[in-house]
Amino acid sequence: MATDARERILEAACDLIASDGIDEVRIARVANRARASTALVHHYFSTREELLAEALTHSFETAGSERFAEAAEGESATRTLARAIDSCLPLPGAQERDWTLWVELWLRAVRDESMRPLAADLYRRYTEWIGEAIEAGLRSGEFSAERDAAELADLAVAVIDGAGVRALVRDPAVSVERARALVGELLCDELGLAPGSLASVESAR
């Protein structure tokens, strides 16, 4: 029950950050949305800043556990990486909400030095997730590349974020589908894969 209440509070904070911006989130509003008392929120989180940091981490870890699941038995490294790319773009729904949260974190970290370690840690973990998928393909010989997995992961994250932001702000030149294609094309070239090998797993079904 305690875990449910804490989870509900974190989800409420995430919803408010996404809808109103991180600077507009207040303990009382989170409590109201979570159907909890402000005393209960303070029981779990000493300060507003602690709640915000925990909410952003919660969003990231939930996304990771749901979307970066271990490869299914017999799944190729190519398909695992394609799933990872699908999971990292602002597709409508939960992924778009998570992207909005992370953009809020980026903006806050630009202005607030205390938020920078959290942003750096989340980026480290995000890049490692992508790097693990690439490393698996390099080890098996499915991928061939002149760069190592860590460097390729940095490159992938840079392209995902750059194209993803344009899709998130509804740039007419870069839809989320176009962003997805750009990432796949670049990584196919870098990993020695045939064009289209990293097409979206969803579209391949």
Domain CATH code at residue 8:
1.10.10.60
Same domain for 120 and 171, yes or no, is yes
User: What is the tens place of the pLDDT at every residue in 87-146?
Assistant: 899 999 888 988 998 898 888 889 889 889 988 988 998 899 899 999 999 999 999 999
62: in domain: no
121: in domain: yes
pLDDT for 87 equals 87
CA distances from 203 to 85, 98, 106, 110, 192 (A): 13, 22, 30, 36, 22
How high does pLDDT run on average in the chain? Answer: 89
Supply the range of the domain harboring residue 49.
1-54
Same domain for 91 and 141, yes or no, is yes
96: in domain: yes
Same domain for 38 and 3, yes or no, is yes
The average pLDDT across 155-165 equals 96
User: What is the tens place of the pLDDT at every residue in 17-60?
Assistant: 988 988 889 999 999 999 999 999 999 999 998 998 888 888 87
* Number of structural domains the chain divides into: 2
DSSP assignment of 67-113: HSPPPPTT--HHHHHHHHHHHTS--TTHHHHHHHHHHHHHHHHHH-G
> pTM of the predicted model, to two decimals?
0.81
CA distances from 14 to 27, 30, 58, 147 (A): 12, 9, 9, 37
60: in domain: no
